[in-house]
Amino acid sequence: MFWIYTDKHLIEKQETPLTSDPKVWTRAEATDFVIHELEAILPDLPARVAGDASIVNIDAGHFLLAKIYLNLGVFKAANPAGPYTFEAANMNKVIAHIEAIHSSLADSYWDNFAPDNNNSPEILFSSKNVLGDGGAVGDYWRYGMHYNQTPDGYNGFCTVGEYYDRLMLQMNAASIQHLRLLLILEPNRISVRANVCSGNLQMRLLVRLRQEEQFLYKDRNGNPLFFTKEVTLIVSGPTIETAGIRTQKYQPDVNSLDHPENDFILMRYADAFINGSRSNS
C-alpha cells in the first residue's frame, strides 16, 4: 500500500524475502504506478450496478483518474511545497474522464445520504452498509447532536455562523429548487421539519411541543436545549453545550439507529463536476 500525498511510499507487495527492506518509491513514482495500473484495467472494469455502488466499476475508475490528473502537478512536483505546474494536457484528461462517466444527479441532494441511498444514481462508489456492518455511519449524525437528543449524540462539531450565512447566500443566488432538512426525534418530543424552497427560500418550521413544557429538551445543566448561531473559540457559561449551528448530512435511519443502512459515500457524480470546474479555472 502507498499514500501519494507524502514524500515516499511503502509498497507491501514484494517478491523478496520478508526479512528484506520494503521498496520505497517517491511520490512521483507511486503516482505513475497508480495511473499505469488504473489505465490498464479500466477497459475491463464492469459497468456500475444499479442499487449497489460498492462494487468496483468503470465509473469509479474514471472518477479516480480524473482526481489524480487534476492534482498531478502537486503529486509530481519537484518540491512538495511548490511551485506547481498544471499542464493543459492533464486538465483535458480530467474533462475526458468525467465525460466518460455514465451517471446522473439524484432528484434531491439529500437522497444521497438517506438510509436507502444505495438507490441514488449519483453515487459512483461507496462502502456498502447493511444493518451497520459497513462501519459507524451513525457517527456522522451523532457528532453534532446533543447527549439528550434523540438520536443522542456526542455534542462535538458545530459550524461557525459565517459559513452558514455564506451558504444561505449561495443557495439564494442559485435559486435551489428544493432543500429539505429533517430532524427526527421521538414522537413525544420536539419534532422539527424544515423545507427550503427556491425563490425567496421560504422556510417552514413545524414544531410540536408538549403543552406542559415550552422546552422538553434540556442540556446537562438544566438550561433549555436551544442551539445558537453564535460560537466562540473557547465556550463557557450557560451556552457551553448549545453554542454553534449543528449540521446534518447523513439522515438518521429511524428503523435502525444503532445499526443504520446508509451506505458511506466514497465517490459522487456531483464531486466529478466540481473537479471538472477546477480543471478549467
pLDDT attached to residue 170? 56
pLDDT attached to residue 48? 95
Closest CA to 61 of 1, 103, 29: 103
Is the pLDDT at 156 greater than 50, yes or no? yes
- Residue in the structure block whose three cell numbers are 507511486: 30
CB 26 within 8 A of CB 32: no
Residue 232 corresponds to which amino acid?
A: T
pTM metric for this prediction: 0.77
Lowest-confidence pick of 43-57, 91-105, 237-251? 237-251
Strands 178-183, 191-197: pairing kind: antiparallel
Q: Which of 90-94, 140-144, 215-219, 244-248 has the highest mean pLDDT?
A: 90-94
Whole-number Å distance between alpha carbons of 26 and 53: 32
CB count in 10 Å sphere of residue 42: 15
Rounded to the nearest 10 degrees, the angle between the axes of helix 58-70 and helix 269-279 is: 30
Strands 24-26, 123-127: pairing kind: unpaired
Lowest-confidence pick of 5-14, 26-35, 96-105? 5-14
- Residue in the structure block whose three cell numbers are 511503502: 10
pLDDT attached to residue 209? 35
Map residue 267 onto helix, strand or coil. Answer: strand
Lowest-confidence pick of 41-45, 90-94, 129-133? 129-133
Percent of the chain with pLDDT over 70: 74
Percent of the chain with pLDDT over 90: 35
DSSP 175-212: T-SEEEEEE---TTS-EEEEEEESTTT-EEEEEE--TT
Closest CA to 280 of 86, 81, 68: 86
> Higher pLDDT residue, 56 or 7?
56
**Radius of gyration (C-alpha) of the chain in whole angstroms:** 23
E strands, the chain, are 8-10, 24-26, 123-127, 178-183, 191-197, 203-208, 264-268
Whole-number Å distance between alpha carbons of 71 and 65: 10
pLDDT band at 194 (very low <50, low <70, confident <90, very high): very low
Whole-number Å distance between alpha carbons of 278 and 109: 21
Residue 61 corresponds to which amino acid?
A: G
How large is the average pLDDT for residues 118-129? 94
How large is the average pLDDT for residues 201-228? 57
> Higher pLDDT residue, 245 or 49?
49
pLDDT attached to residue 215? 54
pLDDT attached to residue 180? 37
Map residue 254 onto helix, strand or coil. Answer: coil
Closest CA to 101 of 133, 137, 72, 63: 63
Whole-number Å distance between alpha carbons of 114 and 137: 11
Q: What separation in angstroms does the CA of 69 have from each of 7, 95, 97, 255?
A: 18, 10, 10, 42
Whole-number Å distance between alpha carbons of 26 and 2: 10
CB count in 10 Å sphere of residue 106: 20
